[in-house]
Structure 1
Amino acid sequence: MDYLIGVDLGTTSTKAVLFDTKGKVIASANHGYPLYRDTPDMAEEDLDEIMRAFTEAVQEVAAKAVDGQILGVSFSSAMHSLIAFDENWQPLTRVITWADNRAVKYTEKLRSTGVGQEIYSKTGTPIHPMAPLSKLLWLKNEQPAIYKQAAHYLGIKEYIFHKLFGVNRMDISIASGTGMLNIFDLDWDAQALEVTGVRKEQMPEPVSPYTIERGLDEARANALGLDPETAFVYGAGDGPLSNLGVNAIQPGVAAVTIGTSGAIRVVTDRPKIDPKGRTFTYALDKDHWVIGGPVNNGGDVLRWARDNMFDAEKSTADLLGMDSYDLMTEIAGRVPAGADGLLFHPYLGGERAPIWDANARGSFFGLTHIHTRAHMVRSVMEGIIFNIYMVALALEEVAGSLKSIQATGGFARSPLWRQMMADIFEQTVTVPKAFESGALAATVMAQKALGLVDNLEVIGDMIGESNDYAPQPENYEVYRALTPIFIRLSRQLQPEYANIADFQRKYVHTGKQSK
């Protein structure tokens, strides 16, 4: 039997999944690492910890490939990371992740000048602290010694390829999320380089996602449990691959993913730019462009609700061997749709789409004496979906109406959450029963790179069974009434986000109290 390994490089863990060539999961391994938040707005990872997790995860699943050959390893990777290296390829920083907001001041300045919109119109990446474009401005201004010493800039996947093969390359899918790549000529944008002060030779070579590297040295091959000539395929960003992984690559078919963060995306055959700057345009490959919007606040917000409002239930669930989220969502299910008029804006970590405001903060609105913890957790779950729906409205302006929704990510395990999405969107939501969509999509790209398949559409035969959730009239009528309030309120609060964020930076993190 022939096998392929899909590697999913995530924000807090790396997963390796062993598939056969028909897309059947043979084995999987998941190894975690911390996200360092040592200072306000910081969100970094450690290079050695990620490399160790990658090596151990691949080795673990490679050992399960008995009586056969591993044809290739391919990658789905978190986007927008940045690492600076000196001329000898020694790292000068940890991995600065998409969730890092320290560049907010320089991002706002760039947006206010109009230059930001010019760069966005060529790169397709909204001007936001998540993007390496903004991170480079932060390094230039806040870490000048590192900036002057830096000779190379990579992301986490590119670092792994450099360690394994000594190459300096970045696939166009990851590159299209840097804010530095001109998505129309697929090369580093001259204006973005000028604004950041970065030279083209400091950036990696943009290559096709189907590019193959071979020739592991003996020590690396042994550590990974692979033949030295195993093909390593670059693959793509986790966002674009999420669409492929649920077979949402036809026009009007939206993929919604809610994991730690979230996104909604559709695929077109060419780049499309939003004149209002609300949506991204990232490459899956040169013939498939993913238009959509990412949100910072997904499952991590539900985790916050669990840890801060349902601590006793969490302990009970642990004792009973239950999933604490299942118990919490069962409690939320006792409350009617709309949580009796309690709304929650889920901006605990700032927000990307649809408001693109790193200073955004969360809030409950409509609290009365009748509301309980059950109402609050239901409103948290609904608020995350309302926010995704706001992104969908912007997406339809750019890419056309949505015909159907394919849902994946941790939230898709919750029947209550799935039904909420169907009701709020008033669309049937299809949820594949297989959850390894990113890693599967990466291996399909590997099969195309290796000439085993002719096109990406073959993934439709690999996904298997799915569940459909139809909107329920008694629920969507309630949501129709609440949605405009949610949207108007998000706009009305926005002028105060910077003020409350400045207050928190000044007092909360220093231990000072207001007088």
Structure 2
Amino acid sequence: MNILALDLGTSSVRGLVLDADADPLPGALARRKVRVHVTDDGAGTLDSAGYLACLVECLDELAEGGHLRDVELVAVSAQWHSVLPLDAAGAPLGPVLTWLDTRPEPPAGSAGPTDPAAFHRRTGTWWHRCYWSVRLPWLRAHAPAARFAGLVEYALGELLDSAPMSVSMASGTGLLDLGTADWDAEACELAGVRRGELPELAPTDWRGRLRPEHARRWPQLAHARWAAPVGDGAASNVGSGCVDARRVAVTVGTSAAVRLVQRLPVGAELPPLPERLWRYRVDHEHVVTGAAYSSGGNLFAWANRELRLPQGAQLEAALARVPPDGLVLANPRLGGDRPPGLAPAGAGELVGLSFSTSAVDILAGLMSGLCRMVADDLTVLESVVDAPVDVVLGGGAVTASGWWRAAFAAALAPRSVRHRPEPEIGATGAAFVALGRVAEARRFAGPGRTEEVGSPAPPSRSGVPARRVAPGGR
């Protein structure tokens, strides 16, 4: 049996084929880049039709290459928090709001949850612009929507006989009671939405199949079972092997996050949740707790576009001359804050510039600024399990930069920091969730799958002292 794993991310759509042990098959990868439309007013949107076309192109490419033979299961990792308004027939009424969009604001005169602490513990979220409790009223003020869906529910709804929302994706809306795995009455009231205007929730054993017209297009998938999608952050933790209280995943893709997975079946009492952390569901048996950031690999993309950085080996050589904590202090919130923070897009700052400051120094400052933010939240996350943890780094951005891995090791010391270089950790993790084998993913964090990350001593750089005044605030 082979597994088709789809990764519906913010910057790309990817499809790859894995064997029965969730190891990627050589050459069986298709990828299409997508572009988020970002504007100065805080918009961060995707075109749903264009996104669906990219997914179809990936499936076509894999089929034409003969890679879809023997696929019996389709697993999906998808971006959390996205939402688009639909008309009564299910057609989009506007673009997809991604997690990057900071424009939604609470309706005037609304006071929010009656008991914010209880709301946070129940839903794992806050009354915040990132979640549907704030996004849906804001969207309704701009379009007369009949109902709402996430990007993955829309895309799969165009391909499958049904596309209910998984508990993992529903938890990212901020409208789900994590304990009951059902829509939370107060959250829905804040969102001004009725149950029939939300996607149907997928039961534990849900499996979908292609519609007949699509089964004819991809006959190799005609009998394949489609598993309920998994939020990308949860899937990345599983793909990193961080599936118990001893290991935390730090993932840096387009954005970044630090997360811990625990076994907590639906119906079990929810444990305490620190005020500054969120909690979502991996599936009906596990939760993931952590913090996320709007900055990640997009910091490098911005710097590479605007600062005329050296390329390839020249860039790594230049970074090697910068200490792991950087020479420029930077607030890396160029895209604003993820919840619970409220900093708007454009909140980034640089401190300590001089006439000798180089483009590489600015890049390093942004990268090390993110490391410090992760380190602060990791300390809070450790309080959830009341024990120190090991860290596994993953994601394309840290895989591409040895300097960034070393900077994380320095910021997270004295914890053990390892790196999982496999680039498709999200898709791999989604496959393990689909197989019901989350606990077995521990093997990905062991020797042979991860590499020890060293923390080098800061090189000397005479005449250019590092500044120690932190910009901004959280």
TM over 0.5: yes
Aligned to 1:406: 392
Q: How large is the RMSD of aligned CA atoms in angstroms?
A: 2.7
- Is residue 330 of structure 2 the alignment partner of residue 344 of structure 1? yes
Offset from partner CA, 1:468-512 (integer Å, 9 cap, x none): 11444668xxxxx999853xx433xx6xxxxxxxxxxxxxxxxxx
456-465 vs 86-95, which deviates more? 456-465
The 3 A distance-change label for structure 1 pair 109 and 348 is farther
Aligned to 2:439: 457
**TM-score, length-normalised on structure 2?**
0.88
Aligned to 2:350: 364
- Is residue 3 of structure 2 the alignment partner of residue 9 of structure 1? no
Per the TM alignment, residue 465 of structure 1 is displaced from its structure 2 partner at its CA by 2.8
Aligned to 2:179: 184
Aligned to 1:327: 314
Q: Does the 8 Å CA contact 1:55/1:223 hold for their aligned counterparts? A: no
The 3 A distance-change label for structure 1 pair 110 and 385 is farther
Offset from partner CA, 1:16-51 (integer Å, 9 cap, x none): 011111223121110122212367211111111111
Q: Does the 8 Å CA contact 1:263/1:292 hold for their aligned counterparts? A: yes
**TM-score, length-normalised on structure 1?**
0.82
| Aligned residue identity for 2:154 | Y
Aligned to 2:367: 381
Q: What percentage of residue pairs aligned between the two structures are identical?
A: 25
Per the TM alignment, residue 443 of structure 1 is displaced from its structure 2 partner at its CA by 1.7
Offset from partner CA, 1:125-148 (integer Å, 9 cap, x none): 2333222222112124x31xx24x
Per the TM alignment, residue 397 of structure 1 is displaced from its structure 2 partner at its CA by 3.2
Residue 215 of structure 2: which of 189, 202, 221 is its match?
221
Per the TM alignment, residue 184 of structure 1 is displaced from its structure 2 partner at its CA by 1.4
234-243 vs 115-124, which deviates more? 115-124
Aligned to 1:49: 50
Q: Separation in 2 of the partners of 1:106 and 1:417?
A: 37
Q: Does the 8 Å CA contact 2:294/2:338 hold for their aligned counterparts? A: yes
Residue 472 of structure 2: which of 467, 490, 495 is its match?
490
Q: Does the 8 Å CA contact 1:23/1:462 hold for their aligned counterparts? A: no
Secondary structure class of the residue paired with 2:423: coil
Q: Does the 8 Å CA contact 1:15/1:54 hold for their aligned counterparts? A: yes
Q: Separation in 2 of the partners of 1:265 and 1:17?
A: 25
- Is residue 252 of structure 2 the alignment partner of residue 252 of structure 1? no
Aligned to 1:171: 166
Q: Separation in 2 of the partners of 1:50 and 1:332?
A: 35
Residue 411 of structure 2: which of 424, 444, 449 is its match?
424
Per the TM alignment, residue 57 of structure 1 is displaced from its structure 2 partner at its CA by 1.0
Q: Separation in 2 of the partners of 1:377 and 1:462?
A: 30
Aligned to 2:267: none
Q: Separation in 1 of the partners of 2:157 and 2:119?
A: 28
Q: Does the 8 Å CA contact 2:240/2:444 hold for their aligned counterparts? A: no
| Aligned residue identity for 1:435 | P
The 3 A distance-change label for structure 1 pair 353 and 327 is farther
| Aligned residue identity for 1:334 | R
| Aligned residue identity for 1:16 | G
Q: Separation in 2 of the partners of 1:124 and 1:346?
A: 25
Aligned to 2:133: 133
- Is residue 434 of structure 2 the alignment partner of residue 440 of structure 1? no
- Is residue 70 of structure 2 the alignment partner of residue 75 of structure 1? no
Equivalent residues in 2 for 1:31-180 (5 A)? 31-37=32-38, 40-65=41-66, 68-103=69-104, 105-106=105-106, 116-140=116-140, 142-143=141-142, 146-147=143-144, 150-180=145-175
Q: Does the 8 Å CA contact 2:168/2:280 hold for their aligned counterparts? A: yes
Greater helix fraction, Structure 1 or Structure 2:
1
Q: Separation in 2 of the partners of 1:82 and 1:353?
A: 16
| Aligned residue identity for 1:436 | E
Residue 451 of structure 2: which of 462, 467, 480 is its match?
467
Aligned to 1:293: 291
Secondary structure class of the residue paired with 1:90: coil
387-396 vs 279-288, which deviates more? 387-396
The 3 A distance-change label for structure 1 pair 202 and 94 is same
Q: Separation in 1 of the partners of 2:248 and 2:340?
A: 16
The 3 A distance-change label for structure 1 pair 208 and 265 is farther
Secondary structure class of the residue paired with 1:169: coil
| Aligned residue identity for 1:336 | P
Q: Separation in 1 of the partners of 2:347 and 2:294?
A: 11
| Aligned residue identity for 1:37 | V
The 3 A distance-change label for structure 1 pair 155 and 354 is closer
417-426 vs 331-340, which deviates more? 331-340
Q: Separation in 2 of the partners of 1:59 and 1:353?
A: 37
